[in-house]
């Protein structure tokens, strides 16, 4: 078997990502499922995959470089067989993946036979799917909603937004695509849902984050402050001696999910009065003169 470095067209000193890139480029050009019937491409792909199985793996590469295994050393440990999809795609007479795409890939060939034999296209193909996309408000994506939406093509769809929906999620509405031919099923509507951002709330996984402004007095003396959550306003208890950056957790006020709802994490932000008067300024400055502290000094540093 030929030298794996030669097969991938890389030098013996090539870095591992160089080898990976070379493999990807060659594999894309020769993948047997993408070149059905091309024996030469299939043979090339086998060589490329075997070469990469050795020098794409740091351990095996070291063994090969030191002469401990030869170029066929990796054949025994071949990854799952490449090119097995082709056997199915070529063998099954009425393959379901023909009709996946708008108009249906099978349609092309039906036209061919219709022309050849002067008969109507076989009219048994399921209607094509239609892709839609629309945006929902942040809160609706969290708590769920039912809505009727009229799409750009005039089609009205009743859409149930599931609670906890993620940005970019696709909802499949069965039978809402193109009608089928000759009494067969209609295709589906595939609706990609985008979630509008919220001015205050932010989502990470199943938790919600927000920042809530408080006064100096509320932070130091403790207070109840109203906070916007996905399920409406909630009174948040700010404990005494809180600070800017203090994080408070509202358990179960996050995104609902099967494994229990997430939390809502509130970060406090102390906001000084917009136009503090001399009394306020003097009292703070005098206090600090007596009790100096350095907030920029990291404790223990």
Beta carbons within 10 angstroms of residue 185's beta carbon: 13
160 binds another protein (CB under 8 A): no
- CB of 27 vs another protein, minimal distance in Å: 6
118 binds another protein (CB under 8 A): no
Q: How many residues bind another protein (CB under 8 A)?
A: 38
Residue from 62, 77, 101, 240 touching another protein (CB under 8 A): that is 101
Residue from 1, 2, 62, 105 touching another protein (CB under 8 A): that is 105
- CB of 150 vs another protein, minimal distance in Å: 22
Nearer to another protein, 104 or 254 (CB): 104
15 binds another protein (CB under 8 A): no
Q: Backbone dihedral region of 104: left (phi > 0), alpha (psi from -120 to 50 degrees) or beta?
A: left
Q: Which stretch binds another protein (CB under 8 A): 23-31, 246-254, 256-264, 287-295?
A: 23-31
Q: Which stretch binds another protein (CB under 8 A): 5-13, 99-107, 213-221, 262-270?
A: 99-107
87 binds another protein (CB under 8 A): yes
For residue 4, the Cα-to-chain-centroid distance in whole angstroms is 35
281 binds another protein (CB under 8 A): no
148 binds another protein (CB under 8 A): no
- CB of 99 vs another protein, minimal distance in Å: 9
* 162-201: contacts with another protein (CB under 8 A): 169-172, 188, 190
Q: Which stretch binds another protein (CB under 8 A): 101-109, 151-159, 228-236, 275-283?
A: 101-109
Residue from 1, 89, 200, 272 touching another protein (CB under 8 A): that is 89
123 binds another protein (CB under 8 A): no
Residue 148 token pair:
């009727």
- CB crowding 162-175: b at 16 or more within 10 Å, else e: eebbeeeeebebee
Residue from 60, 61, 82, 203 touching another protein (CB under 8 A): that is 82
9 binds another protein (CB under 8 A): no
16 binds another protein (CB under 8 A): no
For residues 92 and 218, give the distance between their C-alpha atoms in angstroms, rounded to a whole number.
72
Distances (CA, A) of 143 to 135, 152, 231, 261: 15, 26, 8, 11
For residues 206 and 256, give the distance between their C-alpha atoms in angstroms, rounded to a whole number.
7
106 binds another protein (CB under 8 A): yes
85 binds another protein (CB under 8 A): yes
Q: Which residues bind to another protein, rule: CB under 8 A?
A: 24, 27-28, 31, 33-34, 36-37, 80, 82, 84-90, 92-93, 95-98, 100-101, 105-106, 108-109, 112-113, 129, 169-172, 188, 190
């Amino acid at each position: 078997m030929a030298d794996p470095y030669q097969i991938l067209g890389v030098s013996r000193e090539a870095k591992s990502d160089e080898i990976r890139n070379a493999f990807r480029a060659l594999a894309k050009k020769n993948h047997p499922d993408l070149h059905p019937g091309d024996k030469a491409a299939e043979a090339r792909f086998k060589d490329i995959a075997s070469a990469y199985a050795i020098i794409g793996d740091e351990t095996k590469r070291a063994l090969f470089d030191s002469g401990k295994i030869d170029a066929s050393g990796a054949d025994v440990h071949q990854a799952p067989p490449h090119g097995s999809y082709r056997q199915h795609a070529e063998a099954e007479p009425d393959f379901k993946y023909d009709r996946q795409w708008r108009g249906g890939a099978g349609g092309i060939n039906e036209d061919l036979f219709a022309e050849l034999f002067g008969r109507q296209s076989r009219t048994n193909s399921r209607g094509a799917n239609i892709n839609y996309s629309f945006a929902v408000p942040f809160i609706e994506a969290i708590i769920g909603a039912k809505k009727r939406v009229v799409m750009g093509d005039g089609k009205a769809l009743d859409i149930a937004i599931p609670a906890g929906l993620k940005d970019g999620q696709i909802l499949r509405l069965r039978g809402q695509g193109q009608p089928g031919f000759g009494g067969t099923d209609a295709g589906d509507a595939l609706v990609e849902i985008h979630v509008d951002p919220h001015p205050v709330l932010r989502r990470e996984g199943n938790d919600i984050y927000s920042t809530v402004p408080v006064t100096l007095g509320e932070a130091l003396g403790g207070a109840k402050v109203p906070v916007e959550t996905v399920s409406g306003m909630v009174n948040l208890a700010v404990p005494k001696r809180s600070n800017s950056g203090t994080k408070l957790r509202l358990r179960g006020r996050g995104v609902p999910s099967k494994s229990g709802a997430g939390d809502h994490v509130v970060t406090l932000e102390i906001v000084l009065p917009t136009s503090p008067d001399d009394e306020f300024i003097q009292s703070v400055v005098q206090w600090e003169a007596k009790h100096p502290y350095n907030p920029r000094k990291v404790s223990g540093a």
